[in-house]
Structure formats: C-alpha cells, structure tokens
Chain A
C-alpha cells in the first residue's frame, strides 16, 4: 500500500516533530515509512514542508498529483502543497495565520479563507479548516498545534491507529506529553465528531 502526505507550515510550528511522530507510529505498526523535510532557512519564519510516505519505495520526494492528503499548520502555506494533491485527495488547513512583512503592509497579499476555499472548490475538493491555534491554546500551549493537526490527519486517513499515535507521542515528547496527547485527541475529535470522513 502506498500513502503520501505533504505537510506544510512555517519555522517553529513543529513540522519535523509532526513528521517524526507519524513516521515512528507507522514504523511501530510494521509499515515502511519515510519522510523528507524541506526547511531552508525556516528558523527565521520561512516555509517548511515535509513529504511523509508509507510504501515499499524509498524516494524522498512525492510526485505531483500523488498525495492522498495535503495539510498545513499555517493557513496560506497550504498553497505550496497544492501541486502534490491527488484528484480525490483530502485537504486539512489550520486556521493559524502568520503574516510575513509584506503581507502585513498590504493585507490583500495574504489570501483569505474564502479565497482558499474557492480555489479548492474550483478543483473539485472541499477543504477542511481547523481552528488549530484556538484548540491548541485551549489545551494549554500554542506549540501543541502540530499535534492537533496530527489528530485531524489520523482521523481523516486512519493511516495509523490512535493508540500507536498516542503511544509514540508519549515516547517522543518528554516534557508536556499530556497536553500534546490532549491536543491530538481534540484534533481527532474535531474531524470524527463532524463526520468529515
């Protein structure tokens, strides 16, 4: 079986940890995962993306039009992942926004949720927006945003069992594992509760 996810975000949001936990959970279930993080100078607020794969081949990059799911931890960053999406693929977008300098000066250079929704509808796909930043703050820390999105991904894809995902979160994150697990469940419930499957 082949499964491809492209995850996008910006530096500091925890894309590497997101990918690491997902891939480790896959490995624990006997799958053959791989991921590649394209970070550039992301530490300084630049874009980060990660290609996460399960399957027999070892090829770091996902082919255009082959991703089962694309998701972003920052709203506008989803646009970078668009070329990878399959025709019937799923789109998960965190509503957290991070405006760069030029967009702040002229906000029309930053796409609204409506613009993004309209774009995906043109392609025949209904994107799912998740208030991941709000959920993460409610859980206790903005840094759990990546786990909220991981929960959402697991809910739409069933790529790993929730049990192995939670176990991997606890094994990987030493400090604050509880709120991260809670974030994961909140993200999972956001999708499963609304029957986006």
Chain B
C-alpha cells in the first residue's frame, strides 16, 4: 500500500495528525533533507519520513545544535531543509539559530518547534515564540492539521522569498490532533548544490558586517509583514467586542462562538512574529473591548497593547496582563467561554453536564510513573541501592544526580534515589558542582545512553580534566526510549555507524570503564561497590535493551509459590512495595505474577525474602532476543 505521505493525488482527503501533515508538507515542498533530535511532540515527522519511500533524506543528529548546523549547510548549498526539535532542543540550537538568522539562508530553511503548554510530558513550560523575537526571524503558528500542511509548504516559499529561516511552531495538542486534510501537489525540485562564497554573509568577523546582518534580519521581518499578511484573517462584524486569537486558542474561540451563536469581530493571527500591526489596528479602531487569546505568554497581547498605546481613544484590552487568561497551562473551550463572558459582560452558559464532577475528581486514581515490568533500569537502581547498603552507606544521604529520559524515574518510589533533573547530559556537571562544594562522597551521576551522546560527553571530559572522584552510571537501554525508541550512535542494530560509549569514555582517559548486564544482579552489585569506592572518574555502563522496544522472550516462567509466600500482610516488605513491578499483582492477601506482563527479568526471584518466587523453564523454548 502506498503511503498517503508521498502519494501524488492532489485533492484527496485523508486523516492526518499534525505531524503527518508536516511530513506531507515537506514532500509537497520538495524538501531535500529533514534532520533533528527526538523530542515530543515533534518526533514523528522524521520517523514518518524515514519509513516512507521518498527522495527526502530524513535522519537524526546527535543533538539539536548539530542538527541545525547540518540543516544550515544544506540550505546555504541552496537546498530546502526542515529541522525538527522540541522547545528544550531549541534552547540547545539557539546559539546557531541566532547567528544564521542574522546571516540569512539560501534554500528554504524551516525550523519546526513543538511547545508543550500544560506540560503533558515534563520539562520547562516554555513559550518558544520568544525565539522568533530574539532572533528576528518570522514565525508561523498554524491552528489545525490542514494549516500545518499548508503552512509547512508555504514556510519554504517564504524562507526563500525573504532569504532567512522561518519558524513553524506547533504544540503538543496540535501535533497530536488528527483531522481531515486535503492533499496538495507533490513537487520534485531538481536542485544542485551550489555555494556562493561570500564572507560578508556567512561570517561574523567585524562589527560593520554584524551590524549590517542585524539590519538585514530586521528587514526580512518587515518584508514578512507584507508578504505573509494573507495568513492573518480579519472578520469584521461591527460588534463592540472584538477578539484576537492565535493557533489553538482560535479553534477554542470558534467552538464557543458557533456553539452559542455569537458573531463577533475577530482576528486570527497566524504570524506570531511579526504580528499583523495593520489588522490589529483595524480591530482596535472598530471595537470598544478587545479580548486577546493565546496560550502561554502574552506576546501577541503586548503587541496589541503597543498598537493601542498609539491610538487616541483605544479600546480596553483584556488578556493575560490583567489576569483574565492564565499564563500557566494550556487553554480549553471552557476557559475561553469564561473569559469571553467576562468581556461581554454577560454569562455564556456552560453545557449542562452531570453534577458529580467533584466526587469523580476525588475518586480519581493517580498513576505514578514507574519502570515497565522487566525494565533494565529497575534492576540497575535496585543494585545501586543494594551496593550502597552493603558498603555501609545510607542511600538517603548520598547525592545521586539524574538526567532526562526514562532513567530519571529513579526519583519515584520505591527507589527514591535520584534527586535532580535539569537538562540533557547535565547530571555530570551537576555532580562536579556538588563535589566541588564539598558534599560527602560519593556523588553519583546517572544518565542514559541518549543523553550521554546528546550532551554528556563534554561534562565528562571536564570532570576528567579537573581531576574529580566521580562515579558515572550510564543506564544504556540501546534506544531513545521515552520518545519512542529512536536509535542513537550506540544502538546495536541502529542505522548509523556505531560508536560505543565505552570507547568514547576510554578515549578521554577515565580511570575505568565497565560494562555490565543489569539482569546479572550479583555482578551488578559487585561492579557498583567497586565504582562507589574508586578514585577518579569511573564509568559503569549497565547495558540491557528497552523491554518495550525489544521484549525479552526468555524461556522462563516466573511464578509465586503460595505455600511459601508470607502473603501481603505477613511479609515485612513485599515485592510489590520494594520493586513496584507492574507485573506483580495483589489479589487480597495473595501475590501473583501476571504472565501477560512478566518479562522474566528475575528481579523478584532474587528479592523475595521467603524464596517463594521461582522461575522455571517454559515447555516451549523461545529464542532469546537481546544483547
């Protein structure tokens, strides 16, 4: 079956997610390279393009800055390029982005960034639209999957028309929304790489050059205000109340207006930078009260307030600065209805629901994040704590720095051993800081394989060079698991040349490197004990593949012997309490293993104080997959 991503049938209606629309937009725009780093909600674009048969080269880079630099080279050689990242990744790439936004680009260069209002995934609640202002580059903010497709295609044209990079900004909710999308024509551009040797454009040596580049970037934004203004749509209705809304807030507004038969003057803003000054002015001139709706920071709102300040009799502007619309979290049709009620001065009634919401809320079950059953990290943290105790250390007094990804789940019960989460690869630098401050040793740094490649290498070199005594624990599960199993440069069976972590760390002279299989508990504990007492920077790699990606098909069945099991009430510390394995279930006082979930990792067999859990060979032997 041919994929809808690449099929050349203009006018066909398909069901696309926001991310599929962007992937399709690249195909329609004749893009030559798509690169980036995995980060929810933007990850699927590259995964989709990797899986289809198209002339587009799609591949992951080691981190967002490198991805953006690769994209820039491709653009400066005259080819169309998309680079994808989540908002945190934009911070990583920003150094290069600001520089390239000043220089300008040749082949269309579009930066797809995904923000996460309401923090569905956990990281800083950041409004990346500020980067458009900071770097003087235009930013398009679509409102639905159809616009994601159309704006992606247009963003390349705009980028080439103004000669600079263009941001395309989506959010978690928008990128994960699926709706009917009408396909456009597939373009195949036959481009040949060509470089215009121009130091004035491509270097920053000399203040005259840099000031000129700054002016040119500002001119590009100014030009965008004219050429891209058709994306901003003003609907004048002659009402005293007007609304200015952007991206998803526009969808929520239309939901409320149509549901309640309200036909107000409204302006849809699709260019977050530059904001459409003329159309905002027009809206303000024809109304007495204006509500501005956008998610996160009051960026458009402040632009509206600036326009209002230049008027003799400006209308009242409502939004975030007055506290009516929240800055924290995302919006919903209900919040928009309430804000609009306030501005209209009359109550718009909510839909009549059931009167049991509060009670339902109080009964809700909170689901604490824990490792999957059979996850190698559970074994790794269990062994770490066990080793500390065997060495006479109190795990609650030891500083263990954590990093981004599944590895940080060591923060949760029952392990409660990781204490920090800052950014990709930061655990090693943090540990160095704690050591320098004089914290009791050992201070342990933990990170995953993905974070090590992304940003963990330079802090490790720093720790070696400054002569620290630091145990570094690398929980290597072979994939970027939390974002959906992308391969990295250490992945066995990955799609690049493999550069193992142990080779890299040996290369810059750490004291010792040991690779251990975390499913071998005794070996792991022994390795930890050595690691925690050694001098210098020592690296322990606990290598076992992510079970969600590579299920362990071992030939063992793990069962509880009810005769030996002390029962839930009778046991001093039950396996459920100590391991939080989702495959161990409690049935009244009985403890059972759910065979549908069990990955036969054997940790509970090792743990059980009454030796009541046993593993026995299955009758049908299955081949073991793994490392």
In the bound complex, do residue A63 and residue B255 qualify as a contact, i.e. CB atoms below 8 Å apart?
A: yes
Q: How far is the CA of A11 from the CA of B365 in the complex (A)?
A: 15
Q: How far is the CA of A101 from the CA of B333 in the complex (A)?
A: 34
Q: How far is the CA of A140 from the CA of B146 in the complex (A)?
A: 39
In the bound complex, do residue A119 and residue B177 qualify as a contact, i.e. CB atoms below 8 Å apart?
A: no
Residues of B within 8 A of A40 (CB): 120-121
Interface residues of A in 3-36 (CB under 8 A from B): 10, 19-20, 23-24, 27, 32-36
Q: A101-B413, A119-B360 are in contact. Are A64 and B365 (CB under 8 A)?
A: no
In the bound complex, do residue A61 and residue B370 qualify as a contact, i.e. CB atoms below 8 Å apart?
A: no
Residues of B within 8 A of A60 (CB): 173-174, 177, 248, 251
Interface residues of B in 77-112 (CB under 8 A from A): none
B7-35 interface bits toward A, Cβ cutoff 8 Å, 1 = contact, 0 = none: 00000011100000000000000000000
* Contact among B251, B360, B580, B585 with A79 in the assembled complex (CB-CB below 8 Å): B360
B145: min CB distance to chain A, Å: 8
CB of B180 within 8 A of chain A?
yes
Cβ-closest chain A residue relative to B331: A61
Q: Report the interface size class on chain B.
A: 35 or more
Residues of B within 8 A of A105 (CB): 576-577
Residues of B within 8 A of A80 (CB): 364
CB of A65 within 8 A of chain B?
yes
B185: min CB distance to chain A, Å: 21
Point out which of A10, A47, A79, A80 has the most chain B C-beta atoms below 10 A from its C-beta: A79
* Contact among A10, A35, A99 with B177 in the assembled complex (CB-CB below 8 Å): A35
Q: How far is the CA of A142 from the CA of B174 in the complex (A)?
A: 31
* Contact among B251, B333, B414 with A58 in the assembled complex (CB-CB below 8 Å): B251
In the bound complex, do residue B179 and residue A58 qualify as a contact, i.e. CB atoms below 8 Å apart?
A: yes
Residues of A within 8 A of B361 (CB): 79
Q: How far is the CA of A28 from the CA of B369 in the complex (A)?
A: 38
Q: A33-B15, A44-B406, A58-B251 are in contact. Are A104 and B356 (CB under 8 A)?
A: no
In the bound complex, do residue B352 and residue A39 qualify as a contact, i.e. CB atoms below 8 Å apart?
A: no
CB of B596 within 8 A of chain A?
yes
Q: How far is the CA of A80 from the CA of B361 in the complex (A)?
A: 7
In the bound complex, do residue B177 and residue A34 qualify as a contact, i.e. CB atoms below 8 Å apart?
A: yes
Q: How far is the CA of A46 from the CA of B365 in the complex (A)?
A: 10
B372: min CB distance to chain A, Å: 6
Cβ-closest chain B residue relative to A122: B356
CB of A193 within 8 A of chain B?
no
A45: min CB distance to chain B, Å: 6
CB of A175 within 8 A of chain B?
no
Interface size of A by CB at 8 A reads 62
In the bound complex, do residue B177 and residue A36 qualify as a contact, i.e. CB atoms below 8 Å apart?
A: yes
CB of B554 within 8 A of chain A?
no
B591: min CB distance to chain A, Å: 10
Q: How far is the CA of A142 from the CA of B597 in the complex (A)?
A: 11
Cβ-closest chain A residue relative to B334: A64
CB of B2 within 8 A of chain A?
no
In the bound complex, do residue B254 and residue A59 qualify as a contact, i.e. CB atoms below 8 Å apart?
A: yes
Residues of B within 8 A of A109 (CB): 365
Residues of A within 8 A of B255 (CB): 57, 59, 63
In the bound complex, do residue A104 and residue B585 qualify as a contact, i.e. CB atoms below 8 Å apart?
A: yes
CB of A87 within 8 A of chain B?
yes
* Contact among A23, A38, A45 with B367 in the assembled complex (CB-CB below 8 Å): A45
In the bound complex, do residue A111 and residue B332 qualify as a contact, i.e. CB atoms below 8 Å apart?
A: no
In the bound complex, do residue B586 and residue A24 qualify as a contact, i.e. CB atoms below 8 Å apart?
A: no
Q: How far is the CA of A33 from the CA of B179 in the complex (A)?
A: 6
A129: min CB distance to chain B, Å: 16
The 6 A-B pairs with the shortest beta carbon distances in the complex, nearest first, are A65-B353, A65-B351, A123-B354, A34-B179, A82-B360, A59-B255
- Sampled A-B contacts (20; CB under 8 Å): A27-B180, A34-B177, A34-B179, A35-B177, A41-B122, A41-B369, A44-B369, A44-B372, A59-B255, A60-B248, A63-B255, A63-B350, A84-B353, A86-B352, A87-B352, A87-B353, A100-B366, A101-B576, A102-B368, A123-B356
